[in-house]
Amino acid sequence: MPTNSAWVLQSFISNIRYSKRDELTMLRAVQPVLDRAEAVVAVLIPIKKSSAWWELAQDERRAIFEEESHHTTVGLEYLPGVARRLLHCRDLGEPFDFLTWFEFAPEHTSAFDDLLRRMRSSKEWQYVDREVEVRLERSEQT
């Protein structure tokens, strides 16, 4: 771990939570791989959920996540243009619970912004205590 860094984010890939088999099947059918040549825009959004979220039972979180907020259904609308990866860090004692990573081509920026607007207006987002949005763009490879 770097000792001179102001920020160090640690996370891990975990099993997919809150998703049913048919949702996983749909996601896997259209989810693009990361690091596509055309996907030169990336957005990192670390998210911390409230203690009220974590005090809910898993079935209650699932109900808010999917039945009320339609998290997976909404996300599917933006695939394959916007690739994503969810990383977990709550169990590591990190200041955020999740790191969300998105990659897309510049022509999908307005769609990505619409995705964020919809997620942030959902009931699930009422349980977000903190988020930091970091946008990056790499030079197109020649």
Tell me the domains of the chain and their CATH numbers: 40-137 (3.30.70.3420)
CA distance 28 to 22: 10
Digitized pLDDT (tens) for each residue of the chain, 142 residues in all: 556 767 777 786 776 766 778 877 888 888 899 999 999 999 999 999 999 999 999 999 999 998 999 998 999 999 999 999 999 999 888 899 999 999 999 999 999 999 999 999 999 999 999 999 999 999 855 5
Q: Rounded to an integer, what distance in angstroms lies between the CA atom of residue 52 and that of residue 139?
A: 41
pLDDT of res. 15 = 67
Give per-residue pLDDT as tens, 52-72: 999 999 999 999 998 999 998
Cα radius of gyration (the chain): 16
Per-residue confidence (pLDDT) for residue 75, from 0 to 100: 92
pLDDT score recorded for residue 140: 59
- Model pLDDT, residue 27: 80
Q: How many CA atoms lie within 13 A of 19 on its CB side?
A: 17
